[in-house]
Structure 1
Amino acid sequence: MNKVYDFSWVGSQKTFVDTISIEPFGQVVVGRYGGNSSAGQYKNEDACLLWIDEKQDWEFVILLDAHNSAESAELVVKTFEHRKNEIKDCLSLQPEQAFISLEKMVLNLFRSKEFMAECSRVKGETACLIASRKGRYCWWFSVGDCILYLHHPELAAFGQHQVNQRQFYEWIGQVNTFEMPVPCYSTGRKELRHGINHLLLTTDGLIECPGERFSNPQDIFQVFSNSSNVESVGTLLKGIQENNVRDSTTIVSWMVNVTEKATLASNQ
């Protein structure tokens, strides 16, 4: 049976300090760890929004890592929840139109006077990574330093795992990228390869943990090679817990099986 999943969470609602949470939504797994109280952690400023429509073959994810308070993350989640129907209408289109419509909607939202006025009233600011997969394509929109990885053997052979580049000194909220004369953000589209593609979004607690156990994406995906998605996300979070991480970490992980042939060079 094709299912629809709607999920949202902000760290101010439940911190998960000293607590690992693994929650599956169909094929997508959301993992949360609020950090170690023994390292000084007492709050969680991450947030996540996830919508899935299995029948229409898409996922839509927002991952947020706020600073100075969770208010900016709360604002972004609330704002997108109010636009849920509009976003789902975009994703009901074919991928070539869906991503154009989605990107236009996101830009118009972030640049609107109403949203920027709300941003000026919150305490702190947030990194924001939006990713959506439809069919054999993935679209992403990034402000700040959250990470989108894509693992596939053909890409891994060239050492390619990371889709977006982390950008520092970009935020949404009290300090707001979109208030500048030239708003700074990055966006793109990625063709998935034939076979199993593994998409993984994470906040920076995973890669900046003491000991840098998972600073190399190859080490992250090696964890998934011999166990399920649920078990592997748990292993990642247990690994940083054991290394006494302070920063919170939120992970969204899922696999997509692409049956169509992917683009190859003309002589292949």
Structure 2
Amino acid sequence: MANQGKEFSWVGSQEHFVDTPDVFQFGKIVVGRYGGNSSAGQYKNEDGCLVWFNEHQDWEFAILLDAHKTAESAELIIQQIEGAEFEIKQVLSMPTNQQVFKKLEEKMICLFQSEDFLLACRNVTGETACLIVARKNQYVWWFSVGDCVLYLFHPELAALGQYQLNQRQFYEWIGEVNTFELAVPCYSSGIRELRTGENRLFLTTDGLIECPNDPYAEPASIYHSYSDPEEDERVVTSMLESIKNHDVRDSTTIITWTVDVAKEAVRPSDQ
């Protein structure tokens, strides 16, 4: 596990948290990890995550991973991203304009299409879903392979029934089975302007939303769990305890934080 200064990374093969939810705050970011219930047959954790942030430059960068068979593919992606840390942070330090996110996406594609990385992927057991999220100033960008989920919670969006930013994609991974080995790699990406006021970014693997009895299957149920950003750790702990009590087997990893935006967001011309 790496946890130095403003950098944190973890893979479930290092510590599995089976039967034992773990929640901690890292800067303003809350990370929650739960390996699932041994009583439901769970004995390992193949999730992973990475978090970087720079308060002075006003950005956060997070990766969420949900691997299959083994955690080797999650470990490989974290190694690949950490190896490019200097270049990625250089991009994030640029002035906020469309080039920041364009260059970030180009960098991710370059990393995942490199011959060394593709060769390493062929030699791991299993594959992983991968969600990469970067927030800079009043914008959030995502790069998604597979079925991890990114929510953006804000009262104006919730009033219109909008909570989720990316679309979950099944049969899409990086690793032993690899979208970047296709003639045309398959992934999704996007950029969103945050709304004026308090925005909550919430990343989760599918253990939370596919728990027996579906306590958090609907995004609104996650949104309404929050009332005070000062209670982030308590809320995430409550979520993990809830799925534990529902005898979830699959592991769950959550990364969440709030962003306060002072700038007026785009509105329709008739308002």
What is the TM-score with the length of structure 1 in the denominator?
Answer: 0.98
Instruction: Tell me the distance in 1 between the aligned counterparts of 2:135 and 2:258.
Output: 11
Structure 2 match to 1:137 = 139
Letter matched to residue 211 of structure 1: N
Instruction: Tell me the distance in 2 between the aligned counterparts of 1:210 and 1:133.
Output: 32
1:256 aligns with 2:259: yes
Residues 223, 235 of structure 1: 8 Å contact kept: no
Structure 1 match to 2:107 = 105
Structure 2 match to 1:66 = 67
Residues 12, 43 of structure 1: 8 Å contact kept: yes
1:39 aligns with 2:40: yes
Structure 2 match to 1:93 = 94
Offset at 1:4?
Answer: 5.3
From 245, 249, 252, the counterpart of 1:246: 249
Give % identity: 58
Instruction: Tell me the distance in 2 between the aligned counterparts of 1:54 and 1:22.
Output: 22
Structure 2 match to 1:182 = 184
| 1:76 counterpart SS class | helix
Cα deviation, 1:65-93, whole Å, max 9, x if unaligned, reads 00011000000001111111111001000
1:54 aligns with 2:64: no
Offset at 1:111?
Answer: 1.2
Count of residue correspondences: 266
List runs of 5+ in structure 1 lacking aligned partners.
Answer: none
What is the TM-score with the length of structure 2 in the denominator?
Answer: 0.96
Letter matched to residue 261 of structure 1: E
Aligned-residue RMSD, C-alpha = 1.1
Letter matched to residue 59 of structure 2: W
Residues 4, 52 of structure 1: 8 Å contact kept: no
Structure 2 match to 1:234 = 237
Offset at 1:221?
Answer: 1.4
Residues 4, 54 of structure 1: 8 Å contact kept: no
Instruction: Tell me the distance in 1 between the aligned counterparts of 2:107 and 2:122.
Output: 21
Instruction: Tell me the distance in 2 between the aligned counterparts of 1:107 and 1:244.
Output: 38
